[in-house]
Amino acid sequence: MNELFLVTECGPKNRRVQYRRDHLTGLQCRIAPDRVRRSINVAHRPDAPEDEVPCVFCPERIHSETPVFPDGRRIAVGESVTFPNLYPFAQRHVVTVMTEAHNPAVITAGQIEDALRGQIAAFCTDDGYVSCNWNYLPSAGASMLHPHMQGVADEAPTYYAGLAIDQSAAFCRRTGRTYRDFLIDREMGGPRHLFGDELPFFAHAVPLGEKEVRAYLPVRCIDELEPWCGLLAEGIERVESLYRGAGHYAYNMALVCDAAGKPDGGFRAFCSLIARINPGATGMSDSAFMERMHLEPIVLTLPEDLAGLLP
Ligand SMILES: [Zn+2]
């Protein structure tokens, strides 16, 4: 065992992902050297492949050129299509393409709901820590312009999910009530309550990013989310229009769940969105949902390889 950090690995041989945790601070990162091959660190020129239509997520190609689950299929719900990520950085990592349109002017609540249902279908029997995430537009870290969600599941939670789950359990032991109940009691009808009663959406008091909005669900795991998809999607659409009205087009979303295989410690799932301040329509940001919502960066280079890069 390393005295400075904990390291574990997952993934097939040519797509290894290292998980590292700093023993001093508990902070975590993931290192995915093979993601370099995706050319995500080259400059996006205006004539770069981004303008190649149809892209692999467009209806002309998605049904023949994207990976399939072990049973040979993809999950279709409404317009959405869900399949394994070709470049995973989690033990289980799926992509849900949300719309047939490559770059739709608006994404409707119905399309968001179908995408969430696709993610749920992919993970409903998973006993790990699941989150459903969305980088909307390259300036929010999306590597493909075509709107898509990403679901990830691991045996251990991401850094921020772990904090929220552990501290919710500690709160519940201390006070005998869930933190969700406590927070809703305090925030309902107050200046940060944006809308919603059964499923309230609040401006988050200590934001992770610009204009963070959170919805607090009354359930713990992904397999319990299905009845809430409609209300959640309507709320997400409303937050999207709030962002557009305020001049933001790009945003990140994370729907954080507990592990079905673990006992109920009092954590309840929440869905969080942050607006991004667009640096430019074609520029792809190197910070996406893992960096901004889970506080667990994905990096490309092993620290042990840096010395070899010295000139
Ligand atoms: Zn496309």
CA distance 170 to 218: 18
Sheet of strand 17-22, all strands in order from the earlier edge strand to the far edge: 5-10, 17-22, 28-31, 298-299
Beta strand 80-84 with 75-77 is antiparallel
Instruction: With H, G, I as helix, E, B as strand and everything else as coil, classify residue 225.
Output: coil
* Residue 208: CA count within 13 A, CB half-sphere: 21
Statement: residue 38 has pLDDT above 80: no
What are the tens digits of pLDDT across the range 190-235?
Answer: 999 999 999 999 999 999 999 999 999 999 999 999 999 999 999 9
Measured N-to-C along each axis, helices 229-245 and 109-123 cross at an angle, to the nearest 10 degrees, of: 130
Which has the higher per-residue pLDDT, 282 or 292? 292
Query: Distances from the Cα of 96 to the Cαs of 61, 128, 148, in angstroms?
Result: 14, 19, 5
Instruction: With H, G, I as helix, E, B as strand and everything else as coil, classify residue 8.
Output: strand
Q: If you measure from the C-alpha of residue 102 to the centroid of ligand 1, how many angstroms do you get, rounded to a whole number?
A: 4
Q: If you measure from the C-alpha of residue 60 to the centroid of ligand 1, how many angstroms do you get, rounded to a whole number?
A: 9
Q: pTM above the 0.75 mark?
A: yes
Say what the pLDDT of residue 60 is.
96
Q: What share of the chain has pLDDT > 90, as a percent?
A: 86
Q: If you measure from the C-alpha of residue 47 to the centroid of ligand 1, how many angstroms do you get, rounded to a whole number?
A: 16
Q: Which helix (H) or strand (E) holds 172?
A: helix 159-175
Q: Which residue has the tokens 């020129």?
A: 45
What are the tens digits of pLDDT across the range 171-195?
Answer: 999 999 999 999 999 999 999 999 9
Mean pLDDT, the chain, whole residue set: 93
Statement: residue 310 has pLDDT above 90: yes
Q: If you measure from the C-alpha of residue 107 to the centroid of ligand 1, how many angstroms do you get, rounded to a whole number?
A: 14
Statement: residue 36 has pLDDT above 70: no
CA dihedral (296, 85, 267, 230) positive or negative:
positive
Statement: residue 33 has pLDDT above 50: yes
Say what the pLDDT of residue 270 is.
98
Q: If you measure from the C-alpha of residue 11 to the centroid of ligand 1, how many angstroms do you get, rounded to a whole number?
A: 27
Say what the pLDDT of residue 12 is.
75
Q: Does residue 234 contact residue 194 with C-beta atoms inside 8 Å?
A: no
What are the tens digits of pLDDT across the range 250-272?
Answer: 999 999 999 999 999 999 999 99
Query: Distances from the Cα of 71 to the Cαs of 11, 81, 308, in angstroms?
Result: 19, 15, 43
Find, among 202, 217, 211, the residue nearest to 251 by Cα.
211
What are the tens digits of pLDDT across the range 102-145?
Answer: 999 999 999 999 999 999 999 999 999 999 999 999 999 999 99
Q: Does residue 27 contact residue 159 with C-beta atoms inside 8 Å?
A: yes
Q: Which residue has the tokens 């397999």?
A: 223
Say what the pLDDT of residue 37 is.
65
Instruction: With H, G, I as helix, E, B as strand and everything else as coil, classify residue 27.
Output: coil
Q: Does residue 17 contact residue 89 with C-beta atoms inside 8 Å?
A: yes
Q: If you measure from the C-alpha of residue 244 to the centroid of ligand 1, how many angstroms do you get, rounded to a whole number?
A: 22
Q: If you measure from the C-alpha of residue 275 to the centroid of ligand 1, how many angstroms do you get, rounded to a whole number?
A: 23
How many angstroms from the chain centroid is the CA of residue 71? Answer: 25
What is the average per-residue pLDDT within 35-47? 54
Record the tokens describing residue 68, joined without a space.
């399939």
Measured N-to-C along each axis, helices 159-175 and 179-187 cross at an angle, to the nearest 10 degrees, of: 90
To the question of domain 39-297 being in CATH 1.10.150, the answer is no
CA distance 311 to 307: 9
What are the tens digits of pLDDT across the range 229-249?
Answer: 999 999 999 999 999 999 999
pLDDT band at 278 (very low <50, low <70, confident <90, very high): confident
Say what the pLDDT of residue 13 is.
76
Statement: residue 44 has pLDDT above 50: no
Record the tokens describing residue 199, joined without a space.
């499923």
Phi and psi torsions of 278, nearest 5°: -60, 120
User: Residues in the chain, how many?
Assistant: 311
Give, rounded to a whole angstrom, the gap between the first and last alpha carbons of the chain.
Answer: 32
Q: If you measure from the C-alpha of residue 252 to the centroid of ligand 1, how many angstroms do you get, rounded to a whole number?
A: 19
